[in-house]
Amino acid sequence: MKKLTLYTLGSMLLFSSCSKWLDKEPIGILTKEQVQVDPTEGTVTTGIDNAYRPLSYTLNLFGNWDWIGGLVIRPDFLLEDIAAGDANKKWAPDGDQAWMDDVANYNFTAENGAFAGIWKYNYEGISRCNMAIFQLTDATTLSKINMAEGKRKQLLAEASFLRAFFYFDLLKYFGDVPMVLKPLTDFNEAYEVAVRTPKAEVYQQINTDLQVAITGFPDGRFSNQSEKWRASKGAALALAAKVALFQENWKEVISKVAAIEQMGVYDLNANYFDAFDDSKTYVEKENIFIYDHEPGKQPSKGNGFTALQGWGFMAPSANFLAAFETGDPRKALTVNTADQAVYKLLGAQNANNKGNDNSPVNRIYIRYADVLLWKAEALIKDNQVAAGVAIINKIRKRARGANAAVLPDRAANTTDANVAMGWLQQERRVELGLESHRLSDLRRWKIAKATLNAMGKSFADKHVLYPIPQAEVDKTVGKISQNNGY
């Protein structure tokens, strides 16, 4: 039977909910001509490869320079770093892309394209994963493709991991979200799933998917030696740890990170910048999950975020720069203000990739330093304060390198969890600065309002969640409800 899939639930209901949409093209649906009727091992594998694509910074995946629709590039940098005040939209203020300024200043409405953009990127990924999971678990399909069981488990692990990743991203931003777990065959099915699922149930499904991934991936750092960019057991364990962190399940965080440590394949690089250095991809020890951009491909698979930097976008704020302790080497390795170059995002300690709309620079989603700081936080919250501080000091030791005069160790004998949490929060900000984690950290620590109000931002209680894209509410005639306050 031919299957339909979706990336935006509201768009599935264009013909079934409201007559004003009847003149619109039903976007988000795979037509009969697009559906693979006779799948092969190659088409299934390609389908999973394509499920990674919404994680890329490739320009115009889902639109043609649709800036205000949030579709020129994945907008997580805006929703995290700029919204949290660690970055400004541009080095020089101007009126370009005012919708970004609205997010930065908390003057946005539910119609802002940033929310529609991240919603579309994630639901498109989920649709692709759902199709892959169906094909890899459907007996009729499997009899056609005759895939080796080892490869089937590997690909199912990848699709399950990616679906968990996309749903977790949605939960962080929106809270309860519609949950669809299979390709849809008609509009009646689409209408049934166009309702927000309580986040506890979505979390349960995420954990189920991650367990499939953890057991399905082979041991080792890379799940595929010839395509090292693919998700792996380490990535699945790390995402499970992060999910537990956001649920405040401290012992589970500690357990999952311990499992990663026991793999023995990750470590802090001796040099802080090695994780970001594009010339050291797959040689450095720290990156656990990345999107590996490749220039010169057709269709394009390069990183377009480097082009935005050439146009003046993404400048560190004065507040962020002031957060670094005197002499912290990470400040100069993160950004060169004189050259207006964010080295972390340019993949080199120079500006050679600045302005390149098809660069090779990877998008780093999970690295080992991040994971260790999750464990440190969980230990502090679990009343193992000294053990948590020891991890913070490990991060600081790597950061200072041979310069013992900077970044002294935090007091190892402290028993004050509040003091230790302050150290942890400071360390995460500077260690992971401009890596698109900041606002989610502030929200889950429940300090977003106080922190951002102190910076002059109009963060209100309702901003603990972003609004559901208004178009999704409208297209479903309110069946997908709006978050409070919007």
Q: What is the reported pLDDT for 9?
A: 53
The tokens of 133 are what? 């999971």
- Alpha-carbon distance of 257 to 262, in angstroms, equals 9
Contact 267, 221 (CB under 8 A): no
Q: What is the torsional sign of CA 485, 204, 219, 139?
A: negative
3-state secondary structure of 251: helix
Q: What is the reported pLDDT for 189?
A: 79
Whether the bond between 299 and the residue before it is cis, its omega within 30 degrees of 0, is yes
Contact 208, 179 (CB under 8 A): no
Contact 288, 266 (CB under 8 A): yes
For 123-139, give the DSSP string: HHHHHHHHHHHHHHH-H
Spell out the domains of the chain, with CATH numbers in brackets. 1-212 (1.25.40.890), 217-296+317-454 (1.25.40.390)
CA angle 443, 444, 447 (to 5 degrees): 55
- Alpha-carbon distance of 207 to 259, in angstroms, equals 16
What global pTM score does this model have? 0.94
Taking only the tens place, the pLDDT of each residue in 362-412 is 999 999 999 999 999 999 999 999 999 999 999 999 999 999 999 999 999
Q: What is the reported pLDDT for 37?
A: 64
Q: What is the reported pLDDT for 184?
A: 82
Residues in the chain, overall count:
486
Contact 72, 121 (CB under 8 A): no
The tokens of 130 are what? 């759902």
Sites in the chain below the pLDDT cut of 50 = 1-8, 10-35
Q: What is the reported pLDDT for 32?
A: 37
